[in-house]
Structure 1
Amino acid sequence: MDHLSRAHLLRDWDDLAGALTECRRAIHDAPDDVAALALAAELAGLTGRTDLAVRAHAQLGRLLPLDARPLVRQARLLVSLGRHAEAVSVGEEAVLRNPEYVEAYQVLGRAHLVQGELAKAMLRFEQAVHLHPEHGYALNNLGLTYLRAGEAQKAADVLVRAAELLPHVAYVHNNLGVAYERLGQVEEARAAYAAAMHLSPRYVQARVNADRMRRTAHADMAGARTAREQLLPSQGEAPASR
């Protein structure tokens, strides 16, 4: 039986689990079948079999020693599984295979970032932006890394560019709002948070940030009002003379 053809047919019928089973049978018969492995990796990802997808991409990487793409996909999945050290190792191999492939630097940056290795994450995202200056997601990740490193002005500079390139991505505007807020640019921060909430009304973090700014503003107004009242003369007391 042609298990791979049957797998494609079952996928077309939306029987993803059945298609994956047929793919695995095809791989059992021909372990070096690149087409079967590629389809298995795709189906495993769609059906939540992330570990299986990792193994399929790893095998593709071995069969295609000059291709960085299977390794980048494998590294992304490893990051999603919390296997960050493995993701770094696989990502570095992808960079060696293709130093011009921006996504290899992206996934390396993400792996370092989630581990709190800010300097290493910054370097990788900066390399990604150098290769592709209009890569909005790389700019956003670089901006987020700057924020975590306490470099708000640098974060704002790159996040403005990211928001221009990704005007419909809510979390980019939220990150820009955080950068503006840390710089004390209150109106700009409010506008950025409002844009994030408009794009994604259920985006909790943007709403939390906007609510915090409102509470802070109200508290500041109340404090200022109290201070003014304390400076006014009390009833029956004459104003101070000049």
Structure 2
Amino acid sequence: MPWPWRCAPYSVVGWICEEPFAATGSQAQFKRGDLAAAESSVWSVLSSNPNDEQALTLLGMIRGEQQRYAEAEVLFGRVVQLNPKSVVARTHLANALAAQNKEDDAISQYQQAIDLTPNNTDLKLDLADLYVRKGEFAQALSTLETIPPDRFPVSGIPLKAASLLALGRKSDGIQLLPQVKNSSAAIMDLAEVFLHNDLADEALRTLDLVNVKRPARFYYVKGRALQAKGQMPAALSSLRQASALDPRSADTLVAIAQIYASQDKHADSFATLQHARTLNPESVPVLRRFVVEAMQAGQHSVALTAATELVHKSPENLDDLYLAAAVMLQEKELTAAVPLLEKYAAQRPADAKGWLGLGMAYVEQRRNDDARRALDRSAQLDPTLTETQYQLGVLAGQEGKPQEGIQHFEQVIHMQPHHAMALAGLGALYLQTRELEKALNALQRAEAIDPNNAQMQYDLGLVLSSLGKSEEARVHMERFQKLKQKQPRGASNRPVEASPTEPPKIK
């Protein structure tokens, strides 16, 4: 997040601008964006006086501009030690803390800054914004209500609306709409608030208030609102207008990619996200979507590389770890997937899908006891998860327990009659128990859904041969041979030993 000269950022409303000291050469250099020269000038001051408050403040601002927030935190903290009444230092310190997701510490600094300047509206907007980011909407609204109505800035209306809507006061939030009519920035902020709260119609009504030249952001927000209403052609048209006005907007490209994905145009979605990544290679949200669409577009090696990068860039985000692990699991990179899934299950022990993913990995590793514990836990948490029952069937077949496997596969088919892998697995197990008519029925149903399962064709050939239908058996054996040649090296042959064709669905 760039920090303009004399201004400390906050995430939504705007900037707190307060000039802390008279202009000097180093500050002029900072204002011009010449950070190297500004830093050199600052160090020349600090070398003779390491406690120079103004120099430490400016160095902290330079570090903020460089996104070296931990260093900025230390520098502004030192200024606060030297001058506990410095509103500027506390404000900048709060910003540095917020940038590192240290919201509680940031809130404390904002509150102390407000105690020093009780009538500072911008600080109160900052604090309210941070409460919104934390999901503490009652505190946000309480903070905003300390601002006198005659001094309440239009830039704070979207924050107030977000708080009201989150607290269930929908009509009060919507009634704020006319108050932003004279501010294009506030109009678009409010439209995004409505959009975030599934109020696409209100978002579009808000955008209609824009009566000046419409910037790229207008078309971006409008496109997302139309997308939310299911009007995909119009949404795509608006987003393309946004992209034409601002070709470097990765957010717009991600929104376009999402529409392509919803239309099953995964190759187009993948290509669009590739472009977005070139524009913003450090963006975790772009990378996250890129991983998903790479898999959907069949770019598995690319997805695997991107999943590994996601783990490095977002090591504490459990949803990102789960997504990466799902890709690794599907690509049989079990050594990398298992620790991620174990971490996920340990930190979200009530998530049935986490235990399912871990159980799947253990099944692949033939760690049968661990797999059973994980899958049983998943089934206890959510008995409706068909994939858990499927994996329990796989595990039973792997352990040589066909009757148990049959029960699990039958349960899957009861819940999801067109589960091709469960039907193929059921047919394979009936073949093992020599219940040939049942095997034939299950395998033929599986073939009708997915004729490209090589092992299913093989088992169907065996069943037909055992039933004396040699000519039909030969046809299926020929299909098996053709499909097996196309099957990736290392892929499992038997359906009762294979993982499902899809990893657990990403949350």
What TM-score does the superposition give when structure 2 sets the normalisation length? Answer: 0.38
Write out aligned runs for 1:200-239 (5 A): 200-218=450-468
Please name the residue that 2:304 is paired with: 51
Query: For residues 162 and 108 of structure 1, what CA distance do their matches in structure 2 show?
Result: 19
Q: Distance in 2 between matches of 1:178 and 1:15?
A: 38
Equivalent residues of 2:270, 2:290 under 8 A apart = no
**Structure 2 counterpart of 1:22:** 276
Identity %: 17
Q: 1:108 aligns with which of 336, 341, 358?
A: 358
Q: Is the 8 A contact 1:38 1:56 kept in 2?
A: no
Match in the other structure for 1:4: 250
User: 2:379–2:388: 8 Å Cα contact kept in structure 1?
Assistant: yes
After superposition, the Cα gap between the structure-2 partners of 1:9 and 1:150, relative to the gap in structure 1 and judged at 3 Å, is: closer
From the superposition, tell whether residues 170 and 40 of structure 1 become closer, same or farther in structure 2 (CA, over 3 Å). closer
Output one character per residue of 1:100-134: Cα deviation in whole Å (capped at 9) or x when no partner: 11221122122122222222222222221121112
Q: Which runs of 5+ in 2 are unaligned?
A: 1-245, 261-267, 470-507
Closer, same or farther in 2 for the Cα pair 1:60/1:129, shift >3 Å?
farther
Instruction: Considering fraction of residues, name the structure with more helix.
Output: 1
Distance, in Å, in 1 between the alignment partners of 2:296 and 2:373 is 32
The aligned length equals 212
Q: Name which one, 1 or 2, has greater alpha-carbon Rg.
A: 2
String of CA shifts for 1:61-80, please: whole Å, max 9, x gaps.
Answer: 4353xxx3222211111123
Q: Which has the higher contact order (CA 8 A, sep 6+)?
A: 1
Contact 1:23 1:39 in 2 (8 A): no
User: What one-letter code is carried by the residue in structure 1 that aligns with 2:345?
Assistant: V
Report the counterpart of residue 233 of structure 1 in structure 2.
Answer: none
**Aligned with 1:122 (options 372, 388, 392):** 372
Q: 1:173 and 1:51 mapped to 2: Cα distance?
A: 29
Matches within 5 A, 1:1-242: 2-8=248-254, 11=257, 14=268, 16-28=270-282, 33-46=283-296, 48=299, 49-59=302-312, 61-62=314-315, 64=317, 68-218=318-468
Partners of 2:456 and 2:388 in 1: CA distance: 21
- Distance in 2, matches of 1:202 and 1:27, equals 38
For 1:180-217, what per-residue CA distance to the aligned partner results, in whole angstroms no more than 9, with x for missing partners?
Answer: 22233232222111211222234332222122022223
Which consecutive residues of structure 1, in runs of 5 or more, have no partner in the other structure?
Answer: 220-242
Q: 1:152 to 1:53 in 2, by over 3 A?
A: same
What is the distance in 2 between the residues matched to 1:45 and 1:202? Answer: 19
Offset of 1:18 from its aligned partner? 4.6
Aligned residues of 1:7 and 1:20 also touching (Cα < 8 A): no
Give the Cα separation in 2 of the matches to 1:46 and 1:194.
28
Note if contact 2:325-2:340 (Cα within 8 Å) is conserved in structure 1. yes
RMSD after superposition: 2.6
Q: So what's the TM-score if we normalise by structure 1? A: 0.76
Other-structure match for 1:237: none
Q: Is contact 2:375-2:388 (8 Å) kept? A: yes
Letter in 1 for 2:251: S
Secondary structure at the aligned position of 2:280 is classed as helix
TM-fit CA distance, 1:59? 4.7
Structure 1 residue ranges (4+ consecutive) displaced by more than 4 angstroms after TM superposition: none
Shift of 1:35: 3.0
